[in-house]
Structure 1
C-alpha cells in the first residue's frame, strides 16, 4: 500500500504494509527521537505532531497519516534546542529517554496556552512517563523557559 506524507517538511512516498504503525514508519525514515516505550499509549515517548496536533504514534496506523503533515522532534530542532537547555539545567534529563516526548508535548502546550499555570503544565504532561524524576525538574525547566521567553518578548502578553 502506498502512502504519501510530509515528514518534517519533506514529501515522502513509500510502499508499506497495511498494519504498519506510524512509529515504525517514522523510525524507518531516521526519526529516532520517536521512542517505543509501552506500546499501549500510556508513556508519551512516541509523540509526534500530525497536522500540528500531538498524536501517540504507537497507536496509529501509518496509513492514517496518508496525505497529512507529520512532524517529529527532528523537524523542530530550532524550536526545541533552546528549550532543551532549560530542561537540562534543572537536571530533568537524567537518562534522556523521555525527553523527546516531554519536549513535543510542551511545545504543543505552549502553542495552545502560552501562559499555563503549574497545574495546567502538569495536567498536559500527565501522559508522559518518566522513571528518573518526579516531574519537578521538568516543571521548573518549563517555567524557566517561559520566563526567558517572556523576557525576550516571544510569549504573548
Structure 2
C-alpha cells in the first residue's frame, strides 16, 4: 500500500506528513512528532496508557491509525498544560493528591480524566470509578488517583484541604 498524506493539528500545531497506512497514531506521535508522553503499554487498547484526545474524545492511540486522524485535532499530555507551563487542574490534582507513583500510566489517566470531567463536571464516586475503568495502574492502588479526580471535580487542592 502506498503512503498517505495527512494533515493533523497536534497540540495546536498543524503538521503535514506522509505516513504508511498502518502506522498507529501512538507511533506517529512518539516517532514523528517526538511526543513521548503518549506511552505504549499493552498495545491492545486495554491499559489506557496511550490515551489522547482526538477531536476532544479520549481514544486509545494504539488502536487508531494515523491516517484516521487526518483533518483532526489531537491533544497529547504535552498539550494539556497551559502554554505558559501552568498545570491543568487535573494535573495539579494528581500532583497534590499523590495520584501517581512510577508515572507510566499517568499521562493516560490525566487525558482520560480531563475528558471525563468535561463530560461529567460533578461526578459521583461511582461515576468516577466507572470513568477510570479503562485505565490501569500497577503501582498506586488507585486511592490517590480517586482523590485526585474528586479534587479536580471539586476544584480543590491539597493546600485548601489542609488549610
Could you say whether these structures have the same fold, taking a TM-score greater than 0.5 normalized by the shorter chain as the test?
Answer: yes
TM superposition score normalised by structure 2:
0.86
Aligned Cα root-mean-square deviation (Å): 1.7
Structural mapping, 1:122-133, within 5 Å: 122-133=129-140
Deviation, 1:100, is 0.4
Structural mapping, 1:32-71, within 5 Å: 32-71=36-75
Unaligned runs of 5+ in 2: 157-163
Q: Provide the secondary structure at the position in 2 that maps to 1:11.
A: strand
1:97 matched to 2:101: no
Deviation, 1:136, is 1.2
1:13 matched to 2:16: yes
Q: Which residue of structure 2 lines up, in the alignment, with residue 145 of structure 1?
A: 152
1:22 to 25, 33, 49: 25
The ranges of structure 1 where at least 4 consecutive aligned residues each deviate by more than 6 angstroms after the TM superposition are none
> Are the counterparts in 2 of residues 44 and 128 from structure 1 also a CA contact under 8 Å?
yes
Q: Which residue of structure 1 lines up, in the alignment, with residue 160 of structure 2?
A: none
Count the aligned residue pairs. Answer: 150
TM superposition score normalised by structure 1:
0.89
Query: Which is further off, 140-149 or 15-24?
Result: 140-149
For 1:9 and 1:73, the matched residues in 2 are separated by 13
> Are the counterparts in 1 of residues 48 and 108 from structure 2 also a CA contact under 8 Å?
yes
Deviation, 1:85, is 3.0
> Are the counterparts in 1 of residues 122 and 154 from structure 2 also a CA contact under 8 Å?
no
For 2:63 and 2:81, the matched residues in 1 are separated by 24
Unaligned runs of 5+ in 1: 150-157
